[in-house]
Structure 1
């Protein structure tokens, strides 16, 4: 026991020894190198992204998952991992703003992970680390004390580990969902707000009737696309429909494209990637049940900086949109039946429904330590659920064993794991704040950022 304690103390010292430091030129080059790939097609969104990221360390953090994983490749590993836990199917960009509520394909309104762009295989602790750092940055913005944030990080880790322990040796992960009846606080509010939405309100927000036809509105954020682009997107729909399992596929008329717009200004980290809204016919010729599908450009996951090749490209048909779609299907029970992928204009795309019942988690509503701590329980459980069902339960050819068992076995001391996570998160939050300052200084100086 004394030897184990010494090893833990040594590892904690190693983690703390990686003190935050100024690395201005490196940060600016990382931001430029990542975003420059989108400059030719997404300059307007990139300008929005840079202005948004300059507003706060939390928003900067949301836009720089690529920096986080560069650091995960070099910073000390957690004591509580194994080779097996390194093949957890991660969300990748796991932070407070990437959870929310949505109506699943079975009709239930649930709280769960809501962004899968960076989905990839890696160490389970990376998702927890990224979440914990986001809790510090968002919590501080909301005026929550570091002591209360520490409590909430302990809560999110404890809830995650307890739920993984409960899943171990059972099939409970295949039915566990967070709903209004088993949640409270801001999470319950998010679920209830999503359930109160309607298809008519979504269609009213983005579309209009042009005589007997429904078409998209044209606004600053909904832009008409050139004819060549429009035709290329329509032509790619056949491959998209074929990417959906035949058992979940609707009649071909459902997918008939009625109109297309380019969507600008959505998200933070994904700003710069091409994003289109496609208006589909839906289940009938009525204009009241038209469906909006989001078609989003997909590029290699940021997680590859720390775990390149861990998810072979052959498992997602060498299409990054398929990688995103597979992550969504792996991590959610009763996943969106419109999730799929295609390729257009030599780019990979992920498609899914722009759900009328989707409600993003509002981090600004976490106005006290108590509210953050209550939400932390459900976020920890939601993350455990995502990891636990995305193993042999989803596709044994990708992950051939039980991740909930492997994680539970690897974390030999929950209290020490929590302490390690808290220590890492506060150290890294300091680094993010320094990186943000470097970014803002470069932006104000007119340095090229994309």
Structure 2
């Protein structure tokens, strides 16, 4: 068996991980108010739980992303390389109230605008654009306008990079020029012997080998692809997910590497229970990996159709091949005009993901509900403005408290 175990220079042993991961998470969340919003989904859900009945529109029961902040949207490629802007992370996906995704996106965008020191009037205009973009997805009469909607600068930049990103460039960015081995260091840590054996077992024994190999290669024939693990490591990645089991794995599928082809880079991510509120009267997969997979297939089919739900040494995990085109949006480059356009466009993306699960009558009824309680001189409903302002205040207070504790701990 290939793969590394033990300890390398600068890398912790498996039994040393958790305190270091917790410290890294605290550090990431202290970098900015927007970074704090990314890693504090539980605070958002606590705010939702405190809302009185009727304070927010109650939408149709559809699959929702559960954590639609700015970093969880971006270019996503299908197995054949077709690229679109979709939700990239479905860890918290549930069947719930679609308005929760809109609020989470609005909080993320307005916090990013404040972190970029954009004036408050831009935040106000962004919320109006957020409402208009989301509603546009449910208005069948605006179909021509939707098709002609231009991508904002932050999306154009990400799409341009995604469409020109080769597998070799992805390898350089992700595994530091390595073709068949993962260099241990800051981002990749050594595996325990048990982890190494479990990963080899997952990919190299039946029946999971056939299921995973077919999903990664798109094979539909009777022949099962041959899958061999070249190397694997614990992956220090994400913010809110830091502390869960996360692995990067290099695979050789059907001997492509021996023919000069690049290895297949795969992400294994532990699936845990969603913190997002779900509808009580709906049925969802009880297995968390299957829930994430089902959410992805409904909300981001380009991603969901190349994911696999599996079990790794008793834990539910989601497996997906990392495509060169998969990128997250960068909030650091938000400018005044671009921020407003980004709010409209990304709200439209979220709305289209929801609308695709509804029939025409349900879309029309939901649009009517969304347009209620709208002042004549404003294009955003009162509930949306109130909610995002309250969320921003609560998160700013919590962020400063987090920074205070972090500084004292250091």
Query: Are the structure 2 counterparts of residues 321 and 330 from structure 1 closer, same or farther at C-alpha, using a change threshold of 3 Å?
Result: same
Q: Report the CA distance between 1:411 and its aligned residue.
A: 2.2
CA contact (8 A) 1:88 1:387 kept: yes
Q: Distance in 2 between matches of 1:128 and 1:331?
A: 14
The residue correspondences of 1:377-388 to structure 2 (distance < 5 A) are: 377-388=344-355
Cα shift readout 1:149-206 (whole Å, capped 9, x = no counterpart): 11011102111101112289x9x9xxx889xx94242211111111110011122344
Secondary structure, counterpart of 1:252 in structure 2:
coil
Which residue number corresponds to residue 19 of structure 2? 43
**Residue 290 in structure 1 maps to residue 263 in structure 2:** yes
CA contact (8 A) 2:234 2:247 kept: yes
Q: TM-score, normalised by structure 1?
A: 0.76
Which residue number corresponds to residue 56 of structure 1? 32
**Residue 232 in structure 1 maps to residue 194 in structure 2:** no
The residue correspondences of 1:240-279 to structure 2 (distance < 5 A) are: 241-242=210-211, 248-249=218-219, 252-253=224-225, 255-264=227-236, 266-279=237-250
Which residue number corresponds to residue 384 of structure 2? 421
Which residue number corresponds to residue 9 of structure 2? none
Q: Report the CA distance between 1:50 and its aligned residue.
A: 0.7
The residue correspondences of 1:5-404 to structure 2 (distance < 5 A) are: 42-77=18-53, 81-82=57-58, 85-166=59-140, 182-207=150-175, 214-237=180-203, 238-239=207-208, 241-242=210-211, 248-249=218-219, 252-253=224-225, 255-264=227-236, 266-282=237-253, 284-285=256-257, 286-303=259-276, 306-307=277-278, 309=280, 312=283, 315-316=284-285, 318-335=286-303, 337-366=305-334, 368-389=335-356, 391=357, 404=363
Q: Report the CA distance between 1:347 and its aligned residue.
A: 1.6
Q: Distance in 1 between matches of 2:316 and 2:209?
A: 11
Q: Which runs of 5+ in 2 are unaligned?
A: 1-14
CA contact (8 A) 1:86 1:121 kept: no
Secondary structure, counterpart of 1:432 in structure 2:
helix
- Greater helix share, structure number: 1
Q: Distance in 1 between matches of 2:320 and 2:225?
A: 17
Q: Report the CA distance between 1:403 and its aligned residue.
A: 5.4
Secondary structure, counterpart of 1:415 in structure 2:
coil
Q: Distance in 2 between matches of 1:205 and 1:147?
A: 38
Query: Are the structure 2 counterparts of residues 240 and 150 from structure 1 closer, same or farther at C-alpha, using a change threshold of 3 Å?
Result: farther
Query: Are the structure 2 counterparts of residues 207 and 128 from structure 1 closer, same or farther at C-alpha, using a change threshold of 3 Å?
Result: closer
Q: Distance in 1 between matches of 2:198 and 2:128?
A: 49
Q: Report the CA distance between 1:41 and its aligned residue.
A: 5.7
Secondary structure, counterpart of 1:164 in structure 2:
coil
Q: Distance in 2 between matches of 1:95 and 1:208?
A: 28
Cα shift readout 1:341-370 (whole Å, capped 9, x = no counterpart): 11123321111121211221000010x220
Q: TM-score, normalised by structure 2?
A: 0.83
Q: Which runs of 5+ in 1 are unaligned?
A: 1-38, 394-400
CA contact (8 A) 2:134 2:348 kept: yes
Which residue number corresponds to residue 444 of structure 1? 407
Secondary structure, counterpart of 2:181 in structure 1:
strand
Query: Considering only aligned residues, what root-mean-square deviation do their CA atoms show, in Å?
Result: 3.2
Q: Distance in 2 between matches of 1:209 and 1:429?
A: 41
Secondary structure, counterpart of 1:288 in structure 2:
coil
Structure 1 ranges of 4+ moved more than 4 A: 77-80, 206-210, 243-251, 308-311
Q: Distance in 2 between matches of 1:340 and 1:108?
A: 19
CA contact (8 A) 1:116 1:327 kept: yes
CA contact (8 A) 1:106 1:334 kept: no
Secondary structure, counterpart of 1:105 in structure 2:
coil
Query: Are the structure 2 counterparts of residues 125 and 379 from structure 1 closer, same or farther at C-alpha, using a change threshold of 3 Å?
Result: same
Query: Are the structure 2 counterparts of residues 123 and 144 from structure 1 closer, same or farther at C-alpha, using a change threshold of 3 Å?
Result: same
Q: Distance in 2 between matches of 1:335 and 1:384?
A: 17
Query: Are the structure 2 counterparts of residues 383 and 206 from structure 1 closer, same or farther at C-alpha, using a change threshold of 3 Å?
Result: closer
Q: Report the CA distance between 1:90 and its aligned residue.
A: 0.9
